[in-house]
Amino acid sequence: MQTPSFVSEKMRRPALWGVLISSVALGLVFLTRAGYGGFLERAWGDRQAAYRTQFTNTVQTRFTERVQELLSVASEVRKDHGLLGLLKADTPTSIAAAFSALDRHRTINDVSLDIADPQGSVVVWAGKSVVESYRSIFDTGEVDTFVVISPAGLHRFLSVGISTADASAYVIASRTVEVNYPLSNRFVSRSSFSDDISGELGTSVRLLFEEGPPDLDTTDTILIPLLNLHRRPIAYALVSLPTLAEASQAADGLAALWSKIIAGIGALLIAFVVLTWPLRSTTHVLQFVLLASTVWSVRVIWRIVDFPSVLVGGALFDPAVYASPFLFSLTSSLGELFLSCTAVLITAFGLLSTVERLYVDPVEKDEGVSWAKRSLYVLLVFILAVVLQFVIRGYGAAMRSFVLDSTLRYQDPSSLVPEGPVVAMHLTILILTFSFILVVFAILFFAARTLSRSLPQLRRTVLLPLLTFIFLGGHGVFILVNRIPQTPLYYPMLVILLGVALVGWYESRRVSVPMATRITWRRALFMGATIFILSALLIDSKLHEKERLRVQMLADELLRPVDSWLSFVVTEGIRAAAHQPVGQFAAAETDTMDASNLAFKLWAQTLMSREGYNSGVFIYNSRGVEVSRFSVGMTSYEQVDLLSKVFDVEEEVLHVSERNLPHGAIRYYGAWSTVRDDNEQALGTVAVLLSASQKSLFRGETPEPLRAASRDRSETTFESISMSEYEDSVLVSTNDEFLNRGSRLPTYVLEELRRSEARFIWSEVMRGNSTLDVLFARDESNPGRVLAVGLKSVDSRWRLFNLVKMFTVYLVFFIVGIVTYALLRSVRRRAPVFGFREKLVSSFALLSILPLVVMAYYNRELAVERLNENITRRLSEDLFLLHQRIASTVHDAADFSGGVNNEYCEILASDLGVDFAVYGRSRLQSSSRPELYRTAILDGRLPGDAFANVVLLQRNIFKDTERIGEVEYIVGYRPIVLGGRFVGVLAVPALYRLQEIDEELAQRNAFIIGAYALVLLFIVAGGIALANRLSRPLRELSRAARTVGAGNLDVQVEPRSGDEVGELVRSFNDMTRQLKASRDNLARVERELAWKEMAKQVAHEIRNPLTPMKLSMQHLLRAYRDGAKEFGDILQRVSQTVIEQIETLSRIASEFSNFARMPERAFERVDVNTLLNDTLKLFAEVGGIEFRSRFSDVPATLIADKDELRRVFINIIRNSIQAMERGGVIAIETEVKDYICRVTISDSGSGIPPELQEKVFQPSFSTKTDGMGIGLAIAQKIVQDLDGTIGLQSEVGKGTTIVMQFPLKRA
């Protein structure tokens, strides 16, 4: 069997070794695991003790390290005499400088630095606030150096303090040791000591801050004291110890991991062994079946053992990115899909190669096929037409899955470079589309060859149109039965036409397949373009389908009277809030601090807070007075309005109301419940509200696109959705600028909705100059109500941007592929892939990209700069406007302290559309978003730099970049001056404007990239044209040189220019003319010499028989004259001699005639092996010669004149026999490889001396006494006429070997 060309036989031995090693390794893993279980059980006691020791050491060491780290930072500050000097100077300027100096010491990101006076008041700070005053700590007595853990909102901070040398100040460095925030998102960093330790130990760690050691040390947990600098415990870490079951499971996991890796690698190695194993007598189809089964067996085994997903995790193998149960879970993630598509590609290559090998010679017409068989062949072609439709449908279904079964953002407008998973998906699509093209081509090629065999009289000009007709007919039939088409109607027709064109091109060029054996960059470019077009068309179509699905879901959501999930969240919320420990309520009655935090604590424990909904909890005492409230994302007005409605319904009954806003209706859910003690006495009331609008900031995600439609930003940069509501066919509300209230619902829509069972129908509607895809949805609970949701096509520049992005990804794949291929060919010393023209085009493209990249970079930088300027300008305007409004309503400091509260800020923020906060010197006084401060997302202390610049240095405007979690944003500050007196600081955060920057940049990128792409396209097109023009003379010259090399010296190239290239062309023409003249002269001289030589030879040969003839006649004449008695005998003898010599002369004449004439040849298919076998039989009677023959397994069929070829073999064998006068061995061997038949005839004769070996093929040469010595010359001529070669190897005393090579007819 011929092994597939991509699996070299040299790999067999290493693969076998690999299989052996894998088997041994697998056995070792199993044995180790089996023995380890028992060992673990026996040693578990010691192990646990070791864990205790290890965990204790680790926790205490890490804690000590953290303390030392903070101490080190504080010490650095303490040593900064410049800073301390600035403090001592105690002027506004020096203190302001001290703030900057202190900030420079914050080498660790989340460290807070405070410098406090001996009374504990913080005078200079940098970072988050920990405590308002350190007085309580100083009162404990540990004033030189202290280590404490103190709560600050939802955080606990580890603080290390150290006094200055003169004890005039204290430097305190703090860092988060625990975060008790219910959510973890990009705004709240969960980085804490307990999380770090938990990650390091691989077990759960909880910190306890009780006085005295809690009694929690058990067999499964260990209580580790955290010690301060004086080795006294200030907190405890409760660490869970691993259990035996966990350890055993971990060992199982490790063994399973290694088993999977070894099994995966072993399966691949076994596949190599199978594919390189030499198997005789197998047909092409069986070879393909073996290849396909091996490839898919490996694939299935890899899936079963989860290889390579056990090694490579992340988004590639995350089902949330892509997953489908298609193909028996071989596509259960993006990585699995990629591997499966690679297996499909290998199978497709094998299929195409097999189909090609089934039909080697396209010229042959099988004239002897019966009509029954012909009919069967034609029927087969029709079946293939239907099979092709299934293949196209399958491909369409796969592409649909790639879009609908994934959460990938194929057309993410905000990113310039696609994400990694998107690139991986595009690569997968490329592989699958390539496979699809190969399979389509194989089917069409197979059909074409079958058709031409069954109808041999068909010419190619008729065959291709007939093929097209049959396959398009198949498509037509398929449409009738295909209930759920997976591709647009035109798509199969496009594929068929493309496939037929490929078949036609293939047949006309006689290109060998598979294409990997002969890839040129042009073919790769053509294939790449075809893949891109076929896949882009389908992807676009499926993305549109997905968009429609999203709109349908939105309509469904809007039509649904009540969202069951939100109802559930609210009922769970009220249940959780109303069943809290009674003690908390009681405490809230007396303690203001407890009261203010109670609502927040209850809210933080509900599902609605965890899910990040705009919601609130409101608590009232038994007298109905509000004691605590906490809400997120709802204005005071909304809260008041909704609460009044909620309390109108019964206890624990869900209330749902709707508020109509300009951008659409928003639903609110609420409920209330009484809180009772154990004696069923009412302690108070709790109410819960939830808004179904965008999820709040706390979730930290970008808004869901669906919900964005119902927000005030219903029209975003990326898509726009219009919504209209009809009541009894009359428009009652809409945000569509092209519709007027009172417009009527189109009649056809109404009829369709009435007639159809479906709730939704889609229709295209004209709006202005564009077309809108509108979904009309019927409200089942209110038959007269129809909702129309429209999806407006995005700007064409966005579409171009997405297309360019996708094309760029494919282009990168193409470039990587072609460069890799070129490098491989270069390593193997094969002909280069890139010619001069391709290098020219590549150089043009590269040179044109560089300035574009530079321009793009500077353009982006400029855009960012302009946007930042814009934002800071708007910030300044907002600050000015706010200050003006405050100053107009608040007159003095007393007014400011008493009147500027949260409610005031909220109303002002609502009026002006700007959120802001107000600080009374350094502490937060009020804010329009108090929940951001209550939940410690924003710090309640004015940042140090802002304090220094605005309060101390009295700057009018100060802007700073601040950070919460992973988010950076700009904040603007200005002093609030009332009646000429400074009363506070106004702060406006530009948190939400980040998204504007991103959108603006995305839009710029999109629109500019499209323009750049067009420019690049023009440059490349122009470059190609220019390169063609420049390289044409060189190509012509190259072709002419090849023609000259083939022996034709009549070729001339037309010089098209007067430059160096033209000069080169003219020189070439002169050279060929001279060569031709010289050759003609030489040929004439040679002919003359040859004729002279031949004439000499002829004369010599003729003289030979003439001499005995003359002598014989003379002897006869003499005998006649002498009257010899034995005249009769003499006459007999002389006659015999004369006749023999005449025959000799005749033979000489025949041989010359054979050499000189050009006989008519009868070409036919000749099996070389059979012919040699038959020729050997002619020499069967030759004594003393042993004939050994070894023929190839593969048939070696030539198109040749059988008799001529036989004469060649006879001539050579006869020469060999003649060279072995005392007998010997003649060995005859044939071999077929790479479409070349090699015939070797060796003898063990006397051999030919080296100086004579060159002459054996010359017509006049012979080492024999008889014969003309033109046998080998004739043989050479015959072989060369068959485009073959003949050569000779000989060694004196050992023998001679004649080697002939014949090219076999290839398709």
Give 228 or 694: the residue with its C-beta nearer to other proteins: 694
Give 197 or 443: the residue with its C-beta nearer to other proteins: 443
What does the H/E/C string look like for 568-624? HHHHHHHHHHHCCCHHHHHHHHHCHHHHHHHHHHHHHHCHHHHCCCCEEEEEEECCC
Give 181 or 814: the residue with its C-beta nearer to other proteins: 181
- Closest distance to other proteins from the beta carbon of 397 (Å): 5
Q: Which stretch binds other proteins (CB under 8 A): 19-27, 106-114, 405-413, 954-962?
A: 405-413
Give 406 or 927: the residue with its C-beta nearer to other proteins: 406
Give 781 or 884: the residue with its C-beta nearer to other proteins: 781
Q: 354 with 284: CB under 8 angstroms? A: yes
Place of tokens 């415990």: 233
Distance CA 1197, CA 1170 (A): 10
- Is residue 246 close enough to count as binding other proteins by CB under 8 A? yes
- Closest distance to other proteins from the beta carbon of 252 (Å): 10
- Is residue 384 close enough to count as binding other proteins by CB under 8 A? yes
Give 339 or 1286: the residue with its C-beta nearer to other proteins: 339
> Could you say which of 424, 443, 772, 886 contacts other proteins (CB under 8 A)?
443
Q: Which of 1176, 1246, 1240 is nearest to 1214 (CA)?
A: 1176
- Is residue 564 close enough to count as binding other proteins by CB under 8 A? yes
DSSP SS3 for 225 = strand
DSSP for 303-357, written as a single string: HHTTTTTTT--GGGG-TTTB---HHHHTTSSHHHHHHHHHHHHHHHHHHHHHHHH
- Is residue 781 close enough to count as binding other proteins by CB under 8 A? yes
> Could you say which of 322, 402, 919, 1012 contacts other proteins (CB under 8 A)?
322
Q: Is 388 exposed, middle or buried (0-12, 13-18, 19+ CB in 10 A)?
A: buried
Give 486 or 1246: the residue with its C-beta nearer to other proteins: 486
> Could you say which of 397, 739, 867, 977 contacts other proteins (CB under 8 A)?
397
Q: Which of 595, 449, 67, 15 is nearest to 274 (CA)?
A: 15
- Is residue 333 close enough to count as binding other proteins by CB under 8 A? yes
Q: How many CA atoms lie within 13 A of 1190 on its CB side?
A: 8
Tokens of 177: 């040791």
- What does the angle CA 1236 – CA 1241 – CA 1243 come to, to the nearest 5 degrees? 160
Give 414 or 735: the residue with its C-beta nearer to other proteins: 414
Q: Which residues pair with 630 in a beta bridge?
A: 617
- Is residue 393 close enough to count as binding other proteins by CB under 8 A? yes
- Is residue 105 close enough to count as binding other proteins by CB under 8 A? no
Place of tokens 């036919």: 1164
- Closest distance to other proteins from the beta carbon of 713 (Å): 20
- Closest distance to other proteins from the beta carbon of 303 (Å): 13
> Could you say which of 82, 465, 561, 784 contacts other proteins (CB under 8 A)?
561
- Is residue 1115 close enough to count as binding other proteins by CB under 8 A? no
Q: 182 with 155: CB under 8 angstroms? A: no
- Closest distance to other proteins from the beta carbon of 725 (Å): 19
Q: 796 with 771: CB under 8 angstroms? A: no
- Closest distance to other proteins from the beta carbon of 233 (Å): 28
> Could you say which of 22, 401, 927, 1144 contacts other proteins (CB under 8 A)?
401
Give 305 or 1220: the residue with its C-beta nearer to other proteins: 305
Distance CA 1188, CA 874 (A): 99
- Is residue 326 close enough to count as binding other proteins by CB under 8 A? yes
DSSP SS3 for 31 = helix
Q: How many CA atoms lie within 13 A of 491 on its CB side?
A: 26
Give 118 or 965: the residue with its C-beta nearer to other proteins: 965
> Could you say which of 327, 337, 753, 882 contacts other proteins (CB under 8 A)?
327
- Is residue 219 close enough to count as binding other proteins by CB under 8 A? no
- Is residue 394 close enough to count as binding other proteins by CB under 8 A? yes
- Closest distance to other proteins from the beta carbon of 665 (Å): 18
Q: Which stretch binds other proteins (CB under 8 A): 10-18, 65-73, 382-390, 671-679?
A: 382-390
- Is residue 614 close enough to count as binding other proteins by CB under 8 A? no
> Could you say which of 165, 562, 823, 1071 contacts other proteins (CB under 8 A)?
562
Encode burial over 804-817: b for 16+ CB neighbours within 10 A, e otherwise: bbbbbbbeebbeee
- What does the angle CA 512 – CA 450 – CA 510 come to, to the nearest 5 degrees? 20
- Closest distance to other proteins from the beta carbon of 991 (Å): 22
Tokens of 748: 């056809």
Q: 192 with 184: CB under 8 angstroms? A: no
- Closest distance to other proteins from the beta carbon of 110 (Å): 23
In sequence order, what are the residues at sequence separation of 6 or more whose Cβ sits closer than 8 angstroms to the Cβ of residue 286?
A: none
- Closest distance to other proteins from the beta carbon of 673 (Å): 16
- Is residue 407 close enough to count as binding other proteins by CB under 8 A? yes
Give 610 or 1004: the residue with its C-beta nearer to other proteins: 610
- Closest distance to other proteins from the beta carbon of 698 (Å): 14
Binding-site size for other proteins (CB under 8 A) equals: 60
Give residue 694's identity as a one-letter amino acid code.
Answer: Q
- Is residue 380 close enough to count as binding other proteins by CB under 8 A? yes
- Is residue 489 close enough to count as binding other proteins by CB under 8 A? no
Q: Which stretch binds other proteins (CB under 8 A): 380-388, 988-996, 1001-1009, 1164-1172?
A: 380-388
Helix, strand, coil % in the chain, rounded to nearest 5: 55, 20, 25
Place of tokens 């350190």: 134
- Closest distance to other proteins from the beta carbon of 635 (Å): 27
- Closest distance to other proteins from the beta carbon of 323 (Å): 3
Q: How many CA atoms lie within 13 A of 4 on its CB side?
A: 28
DSSP SS3 for 185 = strand
DSSP for 511-538, written as a single string: --SSGGGG--HHHHHHHHHHHHHHHHHH
- CA 1180 to chain CA centroid, Å, is 68
- Closest distance to other proteins from the beta carbon of 249 (Å): 5
Tokens of 110: 């989340």
Q: Which stretch binds other proteins (CB under 8 A): 442-450, 516-524, 677-685, 686-694?
A: 442-450
- Is residue 245 close enough to count as binding other proteins by CB under 8 A? yes
Give 610 or 676: the residue with its C-beta nearer to other proteins: 610
Site for other proteins in 258-297 (CB under 8 A): 283-285, 288-289
Place of tokens 């598979």: 514
Tokens of 196: 């770090």
What does the binding site for other proteins look like in residue numbers (CB under 8 A)?
243, 245-246, 248-249, 283-285, 288-289, 318-320, 322-327, 332-333, 351, 354-355, 358, 380, 383-384, 387, 390-391, 393-395, 397-398, 401, 404-407, 443, 446, 450, 484, 486, 549, 553, 560-565, 568, 607, 610-611, 780-781
